[in-house]
Structure 1
Amino acid sequence: MQLRKATEKDLPTIMAIIADGIHALAQQQSPQWQNGHGPREEQFLADIRHGWTYVLEEETIVAVASIIPGIDPVYEAIDGRWLMPTDSYVSIHRFAVKSTTANKGLGKRFLASLVAQCVTDGITDIRIDTHRLNIRMQKVALACGFVCCGEVVFPIPDGKRLAYQWQN
C-alpha cells in the first residue's frame, strides 16, 4: 500500500469512490452526503491543486481524503470542547474508502497513514467529523486515536456531525 498526493489524472477514480461512498452511506440509512450534499468534483480539483488530497493505492486507488489546513468555521462553533483548542490545525474531509474493500481494515490503515503524514509535516492537531449514523467512520476514528469532542453543524440539511480530535 502506498499513500500519495492525488493528481488531476486521479479525479475520475476519486469521483467513482465518492459515488460508491454516497451509495454505501445511503445503504446505512445515513443522510450524510445525500441529495447533492456530498463532495463535488470541483472541490477535489481545488484540493488537488493545493496539494491537500491524498489517495491510498493497493494496485489501484482504494481510498481518498483531503487534509485541509486552517480554521474551519464550522469547527469553531462546536457544541462541546476540543481537547487542544488551537488556531493551527488541519481537518480531514471527504474521506472515502472503496466499498469492495470493506471489512479489510483499509479505512483504519488509511486514516492512520493520513495522521502519520500530518505528524511528519509537524501537525499534531488533527480533526475529523462524521454523521451520528456513520458507525463505520466513528469506529475508524476511535481506532486511530481520535476522541469525540462534541457536535458541529454544517449549513446543510442533516448537517449535525460528531466532531473528533486526534489525541497523540
Structure 2
Amino acid sequence: GERVSVAKEHVKPNKKTIKETGEWYLPHVIEPAFGIDRIIWHVIDHAYHEVKKNDEPYTLMRLDPSIAPVDYAVFPLFEKDGMSDLAMQIHQQLCRTSGVVSMYDGTGSIGRRYARADEIGVPVCITVDHQSLEDNTVTMRDRDTGEQRRVSVEAIRS
C-alpha cells in the first residue's frame, strides 16, 4: 500500500466516560435480518435437485404443487393428426379454470418437453397421443415419481 496522512484539523478527540452497572436488560429494538427474497431463495434452494438420468445430469424443481408457478403442462405427442388441436382445447379449458395456470408446449421431443417442465417445477404433465383421439383419454405424468396413468379428458376438466 500507499501511505496516507491525515491532517490534524480533520481529527477531533472525543472523551467519554461509560459507567457499567452489571445489570441485565433486554434490548428494546428488534432488527430482523430477513426479507421475502431470502424466503424465496430458501424455497428454491430446497426444491432444486440434480439427479442422473441415463448417466446424464437432469434438473428437477420439486416445488410443492401449492406454490408451483405452473400447475399443468399440456403436450401433443406430435403436432399433427389432430393431437395438437385436442391438446390446445385441454390447455384452453384449464386456463379458463380459476386459479389454474397451464402451459402448452408442442416443440421438440416429448422427453425434452418433460425435461423443460421438470426444470420449472410443473407438477403434472398431460400428453395427448394417438390413443387420446380414439378413446378420449390422456396420459398424466407426475413430476416427482415419474408415474404415468391414463385418465379421461372429462376427469381433467372437473
TM-score over 0.5 for the pair:
no
- Relative CO higher for 1 or 2, CA cutoff 8 Å, sep ≥ 6? 1
Q: State TM-score, norm by structure 1.
A: 0.27
Name which one, 1 or 2, has greater alpha-carbon Rg: 2
Q: State TM-score, norm by structure 2.
A: 0.28
More strand by percentage: 1
More helix by percentage: 1
